[in-house]
Amino acid sequence: MYPSDYRYTREHEWIKLEGTIGIVGITDYAQRALGDIVYVQLPQLGTKLEASQSFGSVESVKAASDLYCPVAGEVIEVNEALNRAPGMINQDPHGAAWIIKIRVADPSQVQGLMDADAYQAYVAEKEQEAGH
């Protein structure tokens, strides 16, 4: 379910590192919790972000939720396809529906995030709390 070469945040973003480029999206757990996604607010190219800084939002029919950058970096690409088809996030949250690409300031920061097993356990705990 959760790709083993990605790293994960407690706010349910993922990051995949390719050299010094980080691809960022939200997790399957996040898209399920939000329900039908109808709007994504993307940042400007060139925006410099700190770790845990809000860079946009994703909105479902029911609610708006902020997006937080997993590690520090500069936005070098945004997934424009999400403007036309925000529901892609519900279909393919770990793949085609990535949200931004950043030039990561310090790639070693990524290693400090949860790996797939740790995130899986974190989500299982959340679901148990919610009575699932």
Total of chain residues touching another protein, rule CB under 8 A: 21
48 lies in the site for another protein, by CB under 8 A: no
Q: CB 31 → another protein: shortest distance, Å?
A: 11
Say how many residues make up the chain.
132
Q: Please report, as residue ranges, which positions from 78 to 117 form the binding site for another protein (by CB under 8 A).
A: 90
Chain CA centroid to CA 42, Å: 12
Q: Which two tokens stand for residue 127?
A: 């679901």
Stretch that binds another protein, among 13-21, 73-81, 102-110, 122-130 (CB under 8 A): 122-130
- Which residue from 16, 51, 59, 122 is in contact with another protein, where contact means CB under 8 A? 59
The Cα–Cα gap between 14 and 69 comes to 9
Stretch that binds another protein, among 26-34, 43-51, 97-105, 110-118 (CB under 8 A): 26-34
Choice between 33 and 104, CB closer to another protein: 33
Whether the Cβ atoms of residue 26 and residue 40 lie closer than 8 Å to each other: no
51: number of Cβ within 10 Å: 16
118 lies in the site for another protein, by CB under 8 A: no
Q: Phi, psi at residue 15, to the nearest 5°? A: -135, 135
83 contact partners, CB below 8 Å, separation of at least 6 = 40, 42
Amino acid at 104: V
130 lies in the site for another protein, by CB under 8 A: yes
Chain positions contacting another protein, by CB under 8 A: 12, 30, 32-33, 35-36, 38-39, 57, 59-65, 90, 126, 129-131
